[in-house]
Amino acid sequence: MYPPINSTPTDIPRVGYIGLGLMGKSIARNILKAGFPLVVHNRSRSAVAELVAEGAREAFTPAEVAAQVDIIFTNLPDTPDVELVALGPQGIIEAAHPGLILVDNSTIQPAAARRIAKALEAKGVQCLDAPVSGGDIGARNATLAIMVGGPVEALQRVHPVFLAMGKTITHVGEAGAGQIAKAANQIMVAAQMVAMGELLVFAKKAGADPQKVVEAIRGGAAQCWTLDVKPPRLFNGNRQPGFKAYMQAKDLNIIIETARQYGIPLPSAAVDTQLFNAMLQNGMGELDNSAVIGILEALAGVKLLE
């Protein structure tokens, strides 16, 4: 059904990318700019057409991508999407060939990453769960932090491609370890977004200028990426993504489910999950994750900008 592929790796690996969303398209573009032959697939064809115009080849199914490449990336919204693309009808498994490496940039359940790796291992495919952090800015600027779980030898093969995507590449452990690291990352990200929203609402309602408060505390122990990047956008009335709130909520729900599996108490993350789920219930899911301040504004009866 699919054309045969030479299983001997070339000096420059052929790369496939599936999932050309807010971050995926930028990552794929950087891979292409770095000189790797690229095959792309996405449900929405406009993103495919854009990259084809820049030199990529298009494919119409995940299996069609897998048949043509040495390394195949996925960057998809949630666990069921990755499982379908990897193991479902016309999925990667249907055109899997010895020597193929699957790299998943999505954020999914660690247990699912392990299931996918085990299923594809029987086909001679090595898997890396390699979620990323840095948002759309990091994806565009190739400054992502990449957290990798899976075989070291597969990481060594993919490393030149990772260099086209990010500035920090860390091998965390075996299959699933990259997803555990990303979950830990998202615990901290959510906590920072909520804490930032709380301090801004606190300052506003208690009678201080939130902009001057941020200026004052950024030079001390409260300094962090969130305070450096997000307040200027909020003060300009910009709550557009960025990193969408519904994705933050999805990640937090993965964290809570994984914590439940292992009996891990996460009281702060549980509250943060409720706040981000409230964003979805209030029609705010497409906004930036920093827009969680909107829920806090409603609870406090105050607006940051008024």
Q: Which of 33, 167, 182, 230 is catalytic?
A: 182
pTM, entire model: 0.91
Q: Does residue 5 carry a pLDDT above 80?
A: no
Interior angle at CA 59, CA 54 and CA 60, nearest 5: 135
| Token duo for residue 212 | 């001057």
Q: What is the pLDDT of residue 10?
A: 52
Q: Does residue 3 carry a pLDDT above 50?
A: no
Residue 177 neighbours by CB under 8 Å, 6+ apart: 110, 129, 147, 148, 149, 150
| Interval 57-69: pLDDT, tens | 999 999 999 999 9
231 touches 211 (CB < 8 A): yes
Higher pLDDT among residues 10 and 300, named by residue: 300
Q: Does residue 182 carry a catalytic annotation?
A: yes
Q: Does residue 6 carry a pLDDT above 50?
A: no
Q: What is the pLDDT of residue 306?
A: 84
| Interval 58-102: pLDDT, tens | 999 999 999 999 999 999 999 999 999 999 999 999 999 999 999
125 touches 100 (CB < 8 A): yes
Q: In the chain, which ranges are continuous DSSP H helix? A: 24-33, 45-52, 62-66, 79-87, 110-121, 135-141, 152-162, 177-206, 210-217, 225-235, 245-262, 267-281, 293-300
Average pLDDT over residues 261-280: 98
Q: What is the third-level CATH fold of 15-175?
A: Rossmann fold (3.40.50)
Task: Provide the residue ranges of all domains of the chain, joining segments of one domain with +.
Answer: 15-175, 181-300
Q: How far apart are CA 189 and CA 106, in angstroms?
A: 16
| Interval 201-212: pLDDT, tens | 999 999 999 999
The CATH label, of 3.40.50.2300, 1.10.1040.10, 3.40.1400.10, 3.40.50.300, for the domain at 181-300 is 1.10.1040.10
